[in-house]
Amino acid sequence: MSNPKELRYSKEHEWLSAAEDGVSTVGITEHAANALGDVVFVQLPEVGDTVSAGETCGELESTKSVSDLYSPVSGEITEVNEDVVNDPALVNSAPFAGGWLFKVRVSDEPGDLLSADEYTAFSAG
Taking CB under 8 A as the rule, does residue 14 contact another protein? yes
The interface with another protein within residues 29-48 (CB under 8 A) comprises 32, 34-38, 40-41
| Rounded CA separation 67/86 (Å) | 18
Residue span 59-98 as binding mask against another protein, x where in contact by CB under 8 A, dash where not: xxx-xxxxxxxx---------------------x------
Residues 3-36 as b/e (b if ≥16 CB within 10 A, e otherwise) read beeebbbbbbbbbbbebeeeebbbbbbbbbbeeb
- Residue 50 Cβ vs another protein, minimum distance, rounded to whole Å: 20
Residues at the site binding another protein, with contacts judged by CB under 8 A: 11-14, 28, 32, 34-38, 40-41, 59-61, 63-70, 92
